[in-house]
């Protein structure tokens, strides 16, 4: 179990913001290998900013980010991706005029070996058969749920050590949300390492190993998912009930 | 300097007025003293040219710097003013002053037509269309070979063709002042420039100017707040064209000539350089830019053939390194100093 | 009937040239929202390079084509590193106009540099194809046929690069969603460099073809660039297939108008048409608001 001591991803004292004051204040958390760590909290309190900062899209002002123990906070976004951190951004950010197949290929941009890409494509098509059916379709013509699946599939194509998924349920119908979380459940069963962001803790409690509650740019509570769901006062204070 | 006034409270607006007034008085004193102090007729002639460039740049700055309309038809508008003056004086025997005024009106109409064609377009589409329109006007003039009038043995095309118009009248200073006619012309051109400058100050600080800036900075918000984009855009095309056309008329009357060379890309580039070097969207930018570039131009006269090359690179360097120009950088600098001075007082 | 043949020959030749010029402009606009006003001067650079390689150095003409493409690519790369990258870094909504002004400056600079190096008098162009073929009642010079063929080959290569290769996918991805491309690990700055290099190479080749039917002069690119702009606008900026269609369509119309009304009316009529199209569809015939297509 020695290798489990180095977490796949660790964030230490991270502060970040856009043009104005800091949005995140001294965030620290670790994502151990093979676990799903979830950050929950109300919208507009820095969950997406956290993922964007790890990816290098938003400038970090203080703190360290470690991938497999290696400092990556100074890397540019494309270098972070190459370092094995796959980011499935909020609102999908697909390439709208490309086909599903091309979108998936873009996910494997940093992978030079064609066979590896083929193998991952087979895996993604196996996990998300709908994408195989639609592989030649232009991304902008897909339904919301299908787009989300392309986003997750594209993230998987990177074959990274860690996958960061930003609110996969956003804007989807309840039935479709269930399908998406089923897919994430399968990934959990596969032993993938995931940093998940979600507004509603009840949706992801059964998937998560550890949960962090983010409020106003600070982590206000951390622990096992079941514990959070039992803490009525936390839920009503931070998540309105 | 003054361009920040709209965002500041009234007292700051007043201090901007005071600042502009102070600079204006200094400029006016220098400008009036110049013909009495300077002996060389060549230099006074260059000052007149400088006033023309500054006048065009001030109006282009109103269009681009304040209203955010990137028009490349500025020299075409100027040419319409000049050609209008020349043609009215040549063909219809208009008195030169009336011809200049009518030329400016023609330029306004022309520009509003251009504005109408650009009404629904954004950003670079406006630039391309205005660029194309002025190229077409230029091409139609230089390829005009059909004889309209025979003068002696040579034929004159209606548009003047490749050679343009000359000797259609002047300000009448030669009869009035004899050898000193250049100083007389200088006075007239200076008066025209002051009219241009003051009118643009008034526009920038009027509610209309605020509407221009609002459209430039955030179009959808401005429209949501009830600013009519079509009217505002047409208005700024028209106003800036009137004074640009007026400058064109004065140019034609001063040189007693106008030809298709005013359309040339390097002239347009010079105007853009003036605005960019001085600072687009700043009130004094075009004036300072003219001074800097005219002096640089005189110094580069020895370098002759490298002049245009240098000018081109100068523009690129300024856009990259000093995007707000000299005046913009100066005013940023002053703001930081004032903020630093103000900070301890607030602490008390 | 000979008029029809003449219109077709002129229209298709010009269409091929405009299409190449338009492609370079549209590629750059589509990927970084930049209108490259220096594109016309890069056409001239290509024309003069073939002169240097084939006449001054005495190498074969095909080497001149390579030299022109290489010179264009290098110039495009330098343009990116020296002007575009710092302006992109400064960011903000002013990029669109500031990059236009800066490239106008660069264009004037390059044209004058060519003037200083090669002198002002028109130079003969080494790339020439003699002879012509009788087509019914009309005549088609072989040169025109070669120009159209070369243009199509270049367009096919470009189409393959953009549609099928990893580099092309990265270019399109960056154009469609810059942030997402970064998250996929695409080094966006390198992609921009490639785009300006490709556009420069296209301009170089286009310049060689263009100067073979006109003459070498520093401003030889000004007129085709203006028309290429018009065609980009008609197609909707950044739409590559649309740009090619618009180039051929407008070139044929221009040729027809020139034969019917005289050479000087070709461009004015074209412009009227474009203004009418833009009033009807402000984002061009094939363009859509907000979405850049590649």
Residue C248, domain CATH: 1.10.3470
Supply the pLDDT for residue A2: 45
Could you tell me the residue range of the domain that residue C117 belongs to? Answer: 2-280
> In terms of CA atoms, which chain C residue is nearest residue B136?
C268
C35:B314 CB<8 A? no
Residue C287 lies in a domain: no
Of residues A80 and A230, more confidently modeled: A80
* Lowest mean pLDDT segment, chosen from A34-43, B320-329, C41-50: B320-329
Domain count, chain A: 1
Quote the pLDDT of residue C92.
Answer: 65
Residue A134: both structure tokens together: 């639609």
Does the pLDDT at position C289 exceed 50? no
pLDDT (tens digit per residue) in C120-174: 788 888 888 888 888 777 788 889 999 999 999 999 999 999 999 999 999 999 9
Comparison of pLDDT for A83 and B163, the residue scoring more: A83
Question: What are the residue ranges of helices labelled H in chain C?
Answer: 2-32, 39-51, 61-79, 85-90, 95-118, 142-164, 166-176, 178-183, 188-213, 222-235, 240-261, 266-280
Region A60-86 average pLDDT: 92
Higher-confidence residue of A12 and B328: namely A12
Q: From the DSSP assignment, how many helices (H) and strands (E) are in chain B?
A: 14, 4
Phi and psi angles of residue B155, each rounded to the nearest 5 degrees, phi first: -105, 145
Residues of C with CB under 8 A from a CB of A: 166, 169-170, 172-173, 176-177, 179-188, 291, 293-294
> If you average pLDDT over every residue of chain A, what do you get?
89
Nearest-CA distance from B310 to chain C in Å? Answer: 7
CA distance C103 to C220: 17
Structure tokens at C159: 């189409």
Beta pairing partners, A9: A31, A67
Cβ-Cβ contacts under 8 Å for C202 (sequence gap 6 or more): C20, C23, C24, C27, C69, C72, C154, C158
> Which CATH number covers residue A16?
3.40.50.300
Quote the longest CA-to-CA distance of chain B.
85
In this structure, is residue C285 part of a structural domain?
Answer: no
Distance CA B32, CA B50 (A): 14
Q: What is the mean pLDDT of residues C216-242?
A: 84
Predicted structure pTM score: 0.85
Structural tokens at position C26 = 């549209």
Residue by residue, pLDDT tens for chain B (348 residues) are 444 434 444 445 566 777 788 888 888 888 888 777 887 888 888 888 889 999 999 999 888 888 888 888 889 999 999 898 888 888 888 888 888 899 999 999 999 988 888 877 777 788 888 888 888 888 888 887 777 777 777 777 777 777 778 777 777 777 777 777 778 888 888 888 899 998 888 888 888 778 878 877 777 777 777 777 778 878 888 889 999 999 998 888 888 888 888 887 778 888 888 888 888 888 888 999 899 888 887 887 777 677 778 888 888 888 888 877 888 888 888 888 877 777 655 444
* Interface check B69 vs C, CB under 8 A: no
Report yes or no on A5 lying in a domain.
Answer: yes
Residue A43 structural domain:
1-79+163-168+195-241
For residue A163, the chain C residue with the least C-alpha distance is C183
Coil, strand or helix: which one is A33?
A: coil
Q: Which residues of A touch C179 (CB under 8 A)?
A: 57, 77, 89, 93
**Percentage of chain C lying above the pLDDT 70 cut:** 96
Q: Which is nearest to B82 in space by CA: B110, B54, B60?
A: B110
Least Cα distance to B274 among B298, B247, B293, B300 occurs for B293
With vertex at residue C195, the alpha carbon angle to CA B70 and CA C283, rounded to the nearest 5 degrees, is: 40
Measure the CA–CA gap between A225 and C180, rounded to whole angstroms: 31
The domains of chain B are located at 1-37, 40-263, 264-348
pLDDT above 70: residue A152? yes
Considering only CA atoms, which of A141, A130, A137 is closest in space to residue A99?
Answer: A137
**Residues B328, B284: Cα–Cα separation, whole Å:** 9
Residue C119: exposure state from Cβ atoms within 10 A (0-12, 13-18, ≥19) = exposed
Distance CA B82, CA B77 (A): 9
Q: How far apart are CA B85 and CA B262, in angstroms?
A: 14
In a domain, C293, yes or no: no
CA distance B190 to B252: 15
Which residue's structure tokens are 């100083």?
B183
Q: A124 versus B2: which is more confidently predicted? A: A124
Q: What's the CA gap between C167 and C160, in Å, rounded?
A: 11
Asked if B323 and C267 come within 8 Å (Cβ–Cβ), the reply is no
Q: How many CB atoms lie within 10 A of CB C136?
A: 9
Query: Is the model more confident about C292 or about C1?
Result: C1
pLDDT at residue C87 tops 80: yes
Q: Is C85:C79 a contact under the CB 8 Å cutoff? A: no
Which residue has better confidence, B71 or C238? B71
Q: Answer whether residue C237 is part of any domain.
A: yes
Does B266 touch chain C if contact means CB atoms closer than 8 Å? yes
Is C226 within the bounds of a domain?
yes
Taking the mean position of all CA atoms in its chain, how far away is CA A25? 20
Which SS3 state, helix, strand or coil, does residue C49 take? helix
A110-114: average pLDDT: 90
Residue A134 to residue A128: CA distance in whole angstroms? 11
**Run of H or E residues at A53:** helix A47-55
Q: Is the ipTM of this complex over 0.95?
A: no
Residue C289 lies in a domain: no
Q: Do C237 and B124 touch (CB under 8 A)?
A: yes
Best residue in C185, C293, C294 for a mutation probing chain A (most A CBs within 10 Å): C185
- Number of domains making up chain C: 1
CA distance B76 to B69: 16
């Amino acid at each position: 179990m020695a290798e489990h001591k180095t977490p796949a991803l660790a964030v230490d004292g991270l502060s970040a913001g856009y043009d104005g004051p800091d949005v995140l204040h001294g965030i620290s958390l670790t994502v151990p290998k093979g676990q799903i760590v979830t950050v929950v909290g109300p919208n507009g309190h820095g969950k997406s900013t956290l993922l964007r900062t790890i990816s290098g899209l938003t400038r970090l002002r203080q703190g360290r980010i470690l991938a497999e123990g290696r400092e990556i906070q100074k890397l540019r976004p494309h270098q972070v991706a190459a370092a094995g951190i796959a980011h499935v951004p909020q609102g999908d950010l697909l390439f709208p005029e490309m086909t599903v197949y091309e979108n998936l290929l873009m996910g494997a941009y940093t992978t030079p070996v064609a066979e590896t890409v083929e193998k991952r494509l087979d895996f993604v098509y196996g996990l998300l058969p709908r994408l195989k059916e639609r592989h030649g379709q232009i991304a902008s013509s897909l339904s919301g749920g299908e787009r989300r699946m392309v986003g997750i599939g594209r993230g998987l194509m990177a074959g990274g050590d860690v996958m960061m998924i930003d609110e996969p349920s956003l804007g989807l119908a309840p039935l479709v949300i269930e399908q998406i979380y089923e897919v994430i459940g399968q990934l959990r069963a596969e032993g993938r390492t995931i940093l998940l962001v979600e507004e509603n803790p009840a949706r992801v409690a059964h998937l998560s190993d550890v949960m962090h509650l983010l409020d106003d740019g600070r982590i206000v509570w951390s622990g096992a998912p079941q514990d959070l769901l039992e803490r009525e006062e936390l839920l009503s204070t931070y998540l309105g009930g | 300097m003054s361009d920040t006034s709209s965002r500041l409270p009234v007292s700051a607006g007043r201090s901007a007025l005071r600042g502009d007034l102070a600079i204006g008085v200094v400029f006016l004193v220098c400008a009036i003293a110049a013909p009495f102090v300077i002996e060389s007729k060549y230099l006074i002639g260059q000052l007149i040219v400088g006033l023309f460039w500054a006048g065009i740049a001030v109006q282009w700055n109103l269009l681009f710097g304040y209203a955010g309309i990137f028009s490349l038809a500025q020299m075409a508008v100027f040419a319409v003013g000049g050609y209008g003056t020349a043609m009215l004086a040549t063909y219809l025997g208009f008195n030169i002053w009336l011809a200049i005024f009518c030329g400016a009106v023609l330029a306004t109409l022309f520009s509003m037509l251009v504005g109408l064609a650009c009404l629904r377009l954004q950003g670079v589409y406006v630039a391309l269309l205005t660029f194309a329109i002025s190229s077409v006007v230029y091409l139609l003039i230089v390829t005009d070979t059909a004889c309209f009038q025979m003068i002696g043995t040579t034929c004159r095309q209606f548009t003047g063709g490749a050679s343009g118009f000359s000797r259609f009248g002047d300000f009448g200073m030669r009869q009035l002042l004899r050898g000193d006619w250049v100083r007389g012309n200088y006075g007239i051109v200076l008066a025209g420039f002051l009219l241009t400058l003051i009118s643009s100050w008034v526009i920038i600080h009027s509610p209309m100017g605020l509407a221009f800036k609002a459209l430039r900075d955030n179009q959808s918000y401005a429209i949501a707040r009830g600013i009519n984009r079509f009217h505002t855009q047409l208005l700024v095309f028209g106003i800036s064209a009137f004074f640009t056309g007026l400058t064109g008329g004065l140019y034609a009357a001063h040189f007693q000539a106008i030809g298709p060379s005013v359309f040339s890309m390097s002239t347009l580039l010079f105007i853009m350089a003036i605005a960019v070097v001085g600072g687009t969207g700043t009130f004094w930018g075009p004036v300072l830019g003219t001074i800097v570039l005219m002096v640089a131009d005189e110094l580069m006269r020895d370098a002759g053939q490298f002049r245009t090359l240098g000018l081109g690179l100068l523009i690129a360097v300024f856009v990259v390194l000093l995007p707000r120009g000299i005046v913009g950088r100066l005013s940023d600098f002053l703001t930081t100093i004032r903020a630093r001075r103000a900070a301890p007082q607030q602490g008390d | 009937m000979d008029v029809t043949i003449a219109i077709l020959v002129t229209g298709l030749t010009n269409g091929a040239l405009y299409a190449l010029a338009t492609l370079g402009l549209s590629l750059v606009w589509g990927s970084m929202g930049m209108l490259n006003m220096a594109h016309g001067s890069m056409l001239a650079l290509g024309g003069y390079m073939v002169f240097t390689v084939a006449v001054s150095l005495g190498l074969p003409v095909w080497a001149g084509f390579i030299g022109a493409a290489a010179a264009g690519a290098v110039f495009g790369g330098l343009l990116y590193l020296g002007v575009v990258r710092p302006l992109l870094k400064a960011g903000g909504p002013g990029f669109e106009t500031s990059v236009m002004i800066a490239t106008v400056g660069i264009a004037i600079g390059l044209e004058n540099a060519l003037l200083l190096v090669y002198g002002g008098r028109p130079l003969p162009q080494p790339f020439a194809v003699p002879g012509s073929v009788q087509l019914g009642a009309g005549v088609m010079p072989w040169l025109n046929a070669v120009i159209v063929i070369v243009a199509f080959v270049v367009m096919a290569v470009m189409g393959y690069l953009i549609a099928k290769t990893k580099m092309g996918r990265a270019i399109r991805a960056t154009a469609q969603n810059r942030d997402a491309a970064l998250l996929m690990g695409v080094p966006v700055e390198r992609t921009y460099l490639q785009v300006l290099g490709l556009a420069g190479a296209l301009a170089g080749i286009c310049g060689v073809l263009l100067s073979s039917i006109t003459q070498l002069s520093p401003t030889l690119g000004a007129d085709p660039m203006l028309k290429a702009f018009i065609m980009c606008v008609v197609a909707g900026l950044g739409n590559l297939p649309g740009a090619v269609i618009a180039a051929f369509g407008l070139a044929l119309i221009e040729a027809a108008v020139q034969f019917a009304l005289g050479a000087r009316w070709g461009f004015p009529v074209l412009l009227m048409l474009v203004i009418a199209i833009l009033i009807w569809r402000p984002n061009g015939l094939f363009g859509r608001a907000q979405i850049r297509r590649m």
